[in-house]
Amino acid sequence: MLHFYIFAPFFAALLIGLFAKKGSRIHTGWFVLPVPAVLFILFCSKLPVLAEGKIVQSVANWIPSLDIQLSFYLDGLSMLFSLLITGIGSLVVLYSIYYLSKKEQLVHFYVYLLLFMGSMLGVVLSDNVFVLYTFWEFTSISSFLLIGFWFYRERSTYGAQKSMLVTVFGGLAMLGALILLSITAETNSIREIIANRTDIIESDLFIPILILLLIGAFTKSAQFPFHSWLPDAMEAPTPVSAYLHSATMVKAGIYLVARFSLIFSGTDIFFIIVTGAGLITLCIGSFLASRQTDLKGILAYSTISQLGMIMSMLGFGTGVATLAAIFHIFNHATFKGSLFMIAGIVDHETGTRDIRRLGGLYTFMPISATLAFFGAFSMAGIPLPIFNGFLSKEMFFDASLKLEQTSGFAATFAQWVPFLAVAGSIFTFVYSMYLVFGTFTGKAKLDQLEKKPHEAPIGMLISPIVLIGLVVLIGLLPNLINEPILAPAVASVRGDLALIHLKFWHGLNTPLYMSLIVVILGILLSLTLKKWQPVYNRVPGKFSTDRVYQGLVNGLLTFSKILTKSYMTGSLRLYTSIILVFLVISTSAFIYMTDGFKISFDNLAPVTWPEVLIGSVMAVAAIATIWMNQRIAAIIVIGVVGYGLSLLFVFFRAPDLALTQLIVETITVALFLLCFAHLPKLKKSDKKSFEKLLDFVIAASTGALLTIVAISSHSSQYFDSIAKYFVDNSYKLGGGDNIVNVILVDFRGLDTLFEIAVLGLAALGIFAMIKYRDKGDMNH
């Protein structure tokens, strides 16, 4: 059943082109909308099962020899993310129908969106670590396509490339962690790995595993110092930003940390790294948000700060913090998704997202403005019961006061956590007020707008209305989602089911005082924003992580160009020499380190004078090619070596090999003669003595190495030969007596097919070059 849930978006992506036709009156999005909507309903139908403490799972073999199965399971944590992926996905598709014009490449857009949706479901439902990694990289590829959807815009392609480089780098690091986990736990199953957490914690690989896994999580969820890719990804269409960068993709790293927190949680290093990175991200993101002038830029940095807040709570490792983190994952998706949609509406109806040109839009867009006020106030954590963001923010403050670290640096750091939490939250308040009041209040600047502002069509408003409705509903009645959604998710992360009753009022306590401090100082900073905003001219300045990224990428490109120019000289001799030298050094080193050279005279066939004679002729012919002055003569002489080998196969009673070698040699010689007839005559070598000596050393070393490998391959027996399998099964499975032919055609049929394809492409390339040469056109 879960296989259908995951692969349904992929099948829909394959079929969407059949239903959607360019110029059709029906928007392509209407064909896509049923996919996430039906999946959302199907996932909701599984909520009663999870409420009983059970899980839903399904398994299918994929690569059983490597213990890789398409194994998926649905528990509380994956259910939460699945509901966000399909629920928010449905609203985003509905919103995109009214946002995107029919003139856009809609089929491409929705194919990319469906690929991403299926990939995210695969990430959160996978039980096999390598299946998880496969879907993880699919999310990077599909998000790259979505961010770069408007490929004719330079900023779009730059943002897509940047997100791809950063997230794929993190994915490779995560793959290293997953490999080490599977080796340490001796299983590829995530559930079994978590069950063997004691062995992992006690392993010498614990620190490398943790570091590599967190790199993967931090890059995906835009945590410091990998956060700079997210603002550039805002060049994507607004539906993409609302989906990927508020509810789904950027939370994949959060999911990863939550899923494996049972292994790492409780250790000081996990607390220090995860909480530290999360709080730094919270503070940096919230501080830089008020610097932005683009509405989506403000929301990008606000997303960074909110993700940092969630990540830090997962680092706390306590039950209250875990519940707060899970609760805020849900809350953030509601208010941030709606705010992205409102930003898109403002852009759509005014022609700009520049907050310096906006203002006074409440009069023209009252519904959008009201929705924005509710979303921004919830994000700011205003202490009113109609804002769900306040509830999880209050729990964040409460959890920061109840950390369990008691000794060492971790205990010292824990004392500073509440102060950093308040500092980051103050600037969260500031950018929330900056976003909503700067856009909808004040004096309207109609002369600076490309369009006369007006309210969006109702179809575009439905999705943000639904999300803001959830903001208010969950704020008033948080326990509606507590038992069916939050509690099972917390149980999946913590390992035990602990239902905590959620409520708005907890009396006059320290978390409430912290919230009041945030509100008071936030109001003061918001009112004086223009006076202290010049500080952004100095901070972060040269210490921007984007500058670091640019330096690394540009430095790598410069180094690559210099390195490439050093050996890409157009000299075939140099290319061949480099390949052969590398082959000799690497293979010789491996043979030496593994003690691989052995000589054994066992099981050798007797050598008679015909074999000696043929071998001598082959050697003389090979050496003779060195002194040949004509290409045709050299080809004919080298053909003696191939035909001599065919005779040796005959003497050693291998007629099938002899026939194959004879055919291959004949075709090869014919092709060489055909091609070389068009080449200029050989000239006398003008190489210096040193170059000739170097060529001799390389050639002799390569020949010696191949001789050693041939002798060692006969003399060493590290594993059972596969020859017996082919002898026993060539006729039974392949239906042929000629074992070599059966191997080429049946057992390795795909290899042979692709070899033929490569030869065919090479022949086409040679034909094209000859054709253009005959026309005197060598510029193509």
**Residue 417's pLDDT band (boundaries 50, 70, 90)?**
very high
* Confidence at residue 778, expressed as pLDDT on a 0 to 100 scale: 47
Provide the residue type at 599 as one letter: I
Over 50: is that where the pLDDT of 455 sits? Answer: yes
**What is the structure's pLDDT at 194?**
92
The string of DSSP letters for 671-712 reads HHHHHHTTSPPP------HHHHHHHHHHHHHHHHHHHHHHHH
Higher pLDDT, 174 or 19: 174
Q: Of 108, 127, 129, 126, which is closest to residue 118 (Cα–Cα)?
A: 126
> Which pLDDT score, from 0 to 100, does residue 22 have?
62
Tokens representing 382 are 């205003």
pLDDT at 736: 81
Of 409-413, 518-522, 600-604, the one with minimum mean pLDDT is 600-604
Q: Give the pLDDT band of residue 516 (cuts 50, 70, 90).
A: very high
Average pLDDT, integer, range 496-516: 80
Tokens of 97: 């129908």
Could you count the other beta carbons within 10 Å of the beta carbon of residue 226?
A: 23
pLDDT digit string (tens) for 114-131? 999 999 999 999 999 999
DSSP lists the bridge partners of residue 337 as: none
Can you give the three-state secondary structure of 17-38, one letter per residue?
HHHCCCCCCCCCHHHHCHHHHH
Task: Say which DSSP state 455 is in.
Answer: P
User: Given this model, what pLDDT does residue 569 score?
Assistant: 83
Helices within 401-457 (DSSP H only): 408-440
> In this prediction, what percent of the chain has a pLDDT beyond 90?
43
Spatial distance between the Cα atoms of 142 and 122, rounded to a whole number of angstroms: 13
pLDDT averaged over the chain? 87
Bridge partners, 63 (sequence order): 68
Indicate if the pLDDT at residue 299 is higher than 70: yes
> Where is pLDDT greater, at 314 or 763?
314
Residue 773 has pLDDT above 70, yes or no: no
Rounded distance between C-alpha atoms, residue 111 and residue 15, angstroms? 9
Mean pLDDT of 28-33: 89
Tracing tokens 């509710």 back to the chain, one arrives at 374
Lowest mean pLDDT among 54-63, 637-646, 701-710, 740-749: 740-749
> What tens digit of pLDDT does each residue of 536-548 get?
877 776 677 888 8
Say whether pLDDT at 660 is over 70: yes
